[in-house]
Amino acid sequence: MIDAILSAVVRHRRPVLAAGLLVAGANAAAMGYAPDVARASFLPILLLALTFLLLAIISMGRRSPTLVVLPRSTAFASPAPAWRVLLTLGLLGQSSVTVGAYLRSTEAGVATTFDVVVSLA
């Protein structure tokens, strides 16, 4: 089962990362502008992030046995490891919470936009 999940993540890494960015952006916006929605979505986001981090740890020692055809040249390459994608998805949960907290403090007038940009950089 884990091998099937890892191979699906490797095969479709761009759509998986795009969906993760979409969820992280929605969570950051909810944290900043709709605190009730953010409280309701906290546990599912936390569980998803922990699941992705656990899968990343499990998959660190594994490499995919398949090869990917490079379209520009007549060659093959090994696909990107699944743990990189899963680690990115796991860390997106925490980063969306941090960005949401900065948005909320900016909206409340506690921090300025300059403070937020300096903090994120």
Residue-range domain boundaries for the chain: 2-114
Secondary structure, 3-state, 43-72: HHHHHHHHHHHHHHHHHCCCCCCCCEEECC
Question: Kindly report the CA angle at 45 between 55 and 111, in degrees rounded to 5?
Answer: 125
* Residue in the structure block whose two tokens are 């490499």: 63
How far apart (Å, rounded) are the C-alpha atoms in residues 104 and 39?
A: 13
The residues pairing with 68 across neighbouring beta strands, listed in sequence order, are 77
How far apart (Å, rounded) are the C-alpha atoms in residues 27 and 73?
A: 41
Is 70 exceeded by the pLDDT of residue 57? yes
Mean pLDDT (the chain, rounded)? 83
Is 70 exceeded by the pLDDT of residue 120? no
Residue 20 is predicted with a pLDDT of: 92
The tens digit of pLDDT for each residue in 2-33 reads 888 888 888 888 999 999 999 999 988 888 88
Whats the size of the chain, residue-wise? 121
Q: Among 19, 18, 4, 16, which Cα is nearest to 64's?
A: 4
Residue 121 is predicted with a pLDDT of: 65
**Least confident stretch, 46-50, 63-67, 79-83:** 63-67
Residue 15 is predicted with a pLDDT of: 94
Residue 12 has phi, psi (to 5 degrees) of: -120, 50
